Structure 1
Amino acid sequence: MPKVVVGATGTPGSLAALHKAAAEARVRGAELWVVLAWQSPGGELGSRNGLGPAALAECRAAVVERLRDVLDTAFGAAHPGVTLAGLTVRGTAGAALVDTASDPDDLLVVGTGSRAAWRRLVRPSVARYCVAHAACPVLAVPPSPLEAELDVAHRRNFWRMPLDLRELAR
């Protein structure tokens, strides 16, 4: 059966991608696979230097709980209307998504996220990785305009800038 694979982290962009993926799965009659990628504390180097099986099991349990929280935030009591599978994968987000959506009949849905110049330096784009390496079609979901307005409000609060009341009247 074809599947629609989507990455989920709980950010507003990933929740938008998750809802778009659920809609695509309904239209295609496909299963919805929600993937949460994770790495051990300290990355792979940390897991080689003394992170025992008990600590890894604790990390896995925390990631599974995080995935449940993300799905609860996204859908709440409402069911997405398709067969839903949650999957936690140890590895980088891009590789985990590409490996999960390995069939040419699958669809991979990713959020593009905020691509501010300073963020590109710190964190590579998962969407770009998926477009370059996926064996199936990739649907990139842009961030909501509301997310950009939220970023502006956060910056204003950070710099303690006053709110212009004319902006609220728009």
Structure 2
Amino acid sequence: MNVSRRDEDGPRRVVVGVSGSLGSLAALHRAVAEAGRLGAEVLAVLAWEPPGGEFGYRRSPCPPLLAAVRDAAAGRLATALGEAFGGARPAVPLRSLAVRGQTVPVLVGLAGRPDDLLVVGAGRGLLRRGLRPSVAAGCLRQAGCPVLAVPRPALQHDLDALHRRHFWHLPEEPVPAR
């Protein structure tokens, strides 16, 4: 009997990185649209690490703290899914998974089949780019499947501009009289 790869490994998947940011929620909506078009299921993934990273945790492990961080990550993912869909279920099969690990290796590892589609949010401000490598760029370099990088929504650009304006133009506070 001739069995296709999809039959062996389950239905086609659209894997999407979700952090709770507006950009990741836009990526989640796009992933659902792509899954509907492809007849696929969506796997929404939030990657998390212990405070201080894996190296810091190995130096001074604290299982109760690790459990609290894991539970917080699962809660953040559930909240993001609730906010994205307003409590309703999308029209495609959707599974969610909070995974311990760095974001790019986790996403690339889960979207490991050639017929998977990996969807990530793209575009960050200059400051964030300088502090942390881009997840979208890392996924584009390392993934063995197609990657769809969804641009930041216009609302995020407006919010960033408002924040910059507020940050750089703070009124001087009067010095209290003695």
The alignment's TM-score, normalised by the length of structure 1, stands at 0.89
The residue that corresponds to 2:81 in the other structure is 71
CA–CA separation in structure 2 for the residues paired with 1:52 and 1:119 = 29
Identify the match of residue 121 of structure 1 among 111, 127, 130. Answer: 130
CA–CA separation in structure 2 for the residues paired with 1:106 and 1:89 = 18
CA–CA separation in structure 1 for the residues paired with 2:149 and 2:166 = 30
SS at match of 1:57: helix
1:99 aligns with 2:109: yes
The residue that corresponds to 1:30 in the other structure is 40
The residue that corresponds to 1:133 in the other structure is 142
SS at match of 2:165: helix
Could you tell me which amino acid in structure 2 is paired with residue 2 of structure 1? R
The residue that corresponds to 1:168 in the other structure is none
CA–CA separation in structure 1 for the residues paired with 2:170 and 2:51 = 37
1:154 aligns with 2:130: no
Could you tell me which amino acid in structure 1 is paired with residue 16 of structure 2? V
CA–CA separation in structure 2 for the residues paired with 1:154 and 1:57 = 34
CA–CA separation in structure 2 for the residues paired with 1:118 and 1:67 = 25
The residue that corresponds to 1:167 in the other structure is none
Could you tell me which amino acid in structure 2 is paired with residue 70 of structure 1? A
The residue that corresponds to 2:175 in the other structure is none
Q: Once the 2 structures are TM-superposed, how far is the Cα of residue 80 of structure 1 from its aligned partner?
A: 1.0
Could you tell me which amino acid in structure 2 is paired with residue 76 of structure 1? G
Q: Once the 2 structures are TM-superposed, how far is the Cα of residue 161 of structure 1 from its aligned partner?
A: 6.6
SS at match of 1:121: helix
- Structure with larger Rg: 2
- The sequence identity of aligned pairs, in percent, is 53
Could you tell me which amino acid in structure 2 is paired with residue 77 of structure 1? G
- For residues 56-103 of structure 1, give each alpha carbon's deviation from its aligned partner in whole angstroms, at most 9, with x where no partner exists: 222211111111111111112221111111111111111110001000
Q: How does 1:47-58 map to 2 (within 5 A)?
A: 47-58=57-68
Where do 5+ consecutive residues of structure 2 fail to align?
1-10, 172-178
Could you tell me which amino acid in structure 2 is paired with residue 121 of structure 1? G
RMSD (Å) for aligned C-alpha atoms:
1.5
CA–CA separation in structure 1 for the residues paired with 2:62 and 2:21 = 30
Where do 5+ consecutive residues of structure 1 fail to align?
163-170
- Count, aligned residues: 161
